Chain A
Amino acid sequence: MSPARQLKTLQKTDFDRLLLWLDPNPEHAGELYEKIRWRLIAILASRGCCVPEELADETIDRVARRVADIEATYAGDKSLYFLGVMNNVHHEYLKRPRLSELAPPPEDSIVKEQTYLCLDKCIEKLTPHAREVIEQYYAAERRAKINLRKRIATALGISNSTLRLRALRIRAKLQVCIERCLEGSQTGR
């Protein structure tokens, strides 16, 4: 059975137990779950894994199945338990015969178009100051961009690194907004 199939068979009771084990507050547990999943994917991707999302889900699946056995005795940072299991999952993955190296899927023109629409919507939702920072931050190319960013930082009375951090934080919010917008448009399709 492929890891994806195993993931699909994860029982809801196991998943609920996992969330409860992470945090009694369902909202906090959900946030923690998302953070752990993101970390697993980031680590697997940095190790050159072509299917990081699949292995991250397989890791979560395994942990969820074991929670019933360990929850009474486990001590320490729970998220680190995922790291240990992920190492095993990745190790097994490396031992599997490779059919061929997967290439990233080709660009989807509909998604691309939708991304543009969502970007417009999400930029509209930013505060005027945030919008200005983003517009100016992305307003030039290469060398010109570096010079422009210096000028923006000077105008705002902040250092280049602070400007970068501000712009990236706004950009991260934009990203979340766009992802939600895209999810909405995909369910609406």
Chain B
Amino acid sequence: MITNLHQPKFSDAAIRQFLLGQLRRNDRIAFERALFCDSSLEQRTRLEEIALADDYATRRLRDKDLNAFRQTFRFTAARRNQIEVSMALNECFAPLADAHRAQKSPMFKHPVWRWAVATMILIMLFATVWLVMKEPQIVKVPRRFLHSNAPVTPTPEVAHHAEHATEPGAHREELPPAPSHEAALDVVVLDSTVSAENAPTVTLATLRDKYHLQLMLDGTSSATFLAELLTSRGDLIYSQELTTAAGENRVSFDVSRDRLVGGDYQVRLTRKPDGNVKTYYLRVR
């Protein structure tokens, strides 16, 4: 029997290698003997065993260690219980979101995938910058959309129209600058079913001198109306008599810009024959 043993110092990494069965034969034999003679090594090995279970529970083991762990570590009841406790501790004290994310996207666990995704994002970024530099007109696209004719819809919205647009909704490449003040109007579609809180907002533009309010009607029969522009408190600013032709579901009410300042307004529309009143709300900024 061996009684006088050389007791080498083993690092934490060596202890971990022992637990995972990764020590070379000679080192393993030396470690096994030391484990029987050195109680401090035994204590450290017990703690490393727990640390290993923790790392497994939190998916921090590298692939090589993970395989070794599965082949050597889990075959004792005590260790299985250690893993159980590690998982319970992590679930109790660690936020779950990260673990769930890792479960749902296992590809991101692998560094190769992370690099691939990062590279792809960079390539897309450089391609976008290159394209914008090569084709600068691309950046004008949003402005074109802003200036294009919006179709008149029954929903409350603020639409910018050219007065002489040939076809509603027709797309035009580039609007020329407004030739005169008369040529450009802001069209605002108002609906009496929209409450004051949800009223459409009109931004006062310096080049506009008229705002073309389209008041949506219930019916399409010909009628005469009295349209009154009022402040939110009910003070009359301007009124106008309007007539609709048969088949029209809206009536146009033009308001000159100098009658409007920033604030909340209402338009009271009274149908002449029967005195039926509808109220439309509008915000001006």
Chain A residues with a Cβ under 8 A of chain B: 35-36, 38-39, 41-43, 45-53, 74-77, 79-84, 102, 104-105, 107, 111-112, 115-116, 119, 134-135, 138-142, 144-145, 164-165, 168-169, 171-172, 174-175, 178-179, 182
Q: Which of B20-61 contact A (CB under 8 A)?
A: 20-21, 23, 28, 32-33, 35-37, 39, 42, 45-47, 49-51, 54, 58-60
Q: Give CA–CA (A76, B3) in the complex, Å.
A: 6
Tell me if B80 counts as interface (CB < 8 A to partner A): yes
Beta-carbon contact of A182 and B93 below 8 Å:
no
Residues in B neighbouring A105, C-beta threshold 8 A: 80
In the complex, how many angstroms separate the beta carbon of A136 from the nearest chain B beta carbon? 8
Residues in A neighbouring B49, C-beta threshold 8 A: 42
Chain B residues with a Cβ under 8 A of chain A: 1-3, 18-21, 23, 28, 32-33, 35-37, 39, 42, 45-47, 49-51, 54, 58-60, 71-82, 84-85, 88-90, 92-95, 98-99
Q: Give CA–CA (A45, B23) in the complex, Å.
A: 13
A36, A79, A82, A171 — which one has the most chain B CB atoms within 10 A of its CB?
Answer: A171
Residues in B neighbouring A83, C-beta threshold 8 A: 32-33, 36
Q: Give CA–CA (A141, B44) in the complex, Å.
A: 24
Not counting A39-B36, A134-B89, A168-B47, a sample of 14 additional A-B residue pairs whose C-beta atoms are within 8 angstroms of each other reads: A39-B42, A47-B21, A53-B76, A74-B1, A77-B37, A80-B3, A111-B84, A119-B85, A138-B90, A139-B93, A142-B59, A168-B50, A171-B50, A178-B81
In the complex, how many angstroms separate the beta carbon of A172 from the nearest chain B beta carbon? 6
Beta-carbon contact of A119 and B88 below 8 Å:
yes
In the complex, how many angstroms separate the beta carbon of A152 from the nearest chain B beta carbon? 13
Partner of A165, one of B47, B76, B82, B99: B47
Beta-carbon contact of B94 and A46 below 8 Å:
no
Residues in B neighbouring A175, C-beta threshold 8 A: 50, 81-82, 85
Q: Give CA–CA (A119, B91) in the complex, Å.
A: 11
Beta-carbon contact of B50 and A115 below 8 Å:
no
Beta-carbon contact of B50 and A119 below 8 Å:
no
Q: Give CA–CA (A74, B76) in the complex, Å.
A: 31
Q: Give CA–CA (A144, B99) in the complex, Å.
A: 12
Q: Give CA–CA (A172, B274) in the complex, Å.
A: 89
In the complex, how many angstroms separate the beta carbon of A29 from the nearest chain B beta carbon? 16
Residues in B neighbouring A50, C-beta threshold 8 A: 75
Residues in A neighbouring B71, C-beta threshold 8 A: 48
Residues in A neighbouring B47, C-beta threshold 8 A: 165, 168-169, 172
Partner of B2, one of A80, A107, A169: A80
CB closest residue in chain A, given B75: A50
Beta-carbon contact of A42 and B35 below 8 Å:
yes
Residues in A neighbouring B88, C-beta threshold 8 A: 115-116, 119
In the complex, how many angstroms separate the beta carbon of A138 from the nearest chain B beta carbon? 4
Q: Give CA–CA (A182, B88) in the complex, Å.
A: 14
Residues in A neighbouring B76, C-beta threshold 8 A: 41, 45, 52-53
Q: Give CA–CA (A115, B37) in the complex, Å.
A: 33
Beta-carbon contact of B20 and A51 below 8 Å:
no
Residues in A neighbouring B39, C-beta threshold 8 A: 35
Residues in A neighbouring B73, C-beta threshold 8 A: 45
In the complex, how many angstroms separate the beta carbon of A41 from the nearest chain B beta carbon? 6
Q: Give CA–CA (A35, B84) in the complex, Å.
A: 22
CB closest residue in chain A, given B94: A141
Beta-carbon contact of A168 and B51 below 8 Å:
yes
Partner of B75, one of A49, A76, A174: A49
Q: Give CA–CA (A8, B19) in the complex, Å.
A: 29
Beta-carbon contact of B3 and A115 below 8 Å:
no
Beta-carbon contact of A46 and B51 below 8 Å:
no
Interchain residue pairs A-B with the least CB separation, the first 9? A76-B3, A141-B98, A138-B93, A168-B47, A104-B74, A138-B89, A115-B84, A46-B21, A139-B93
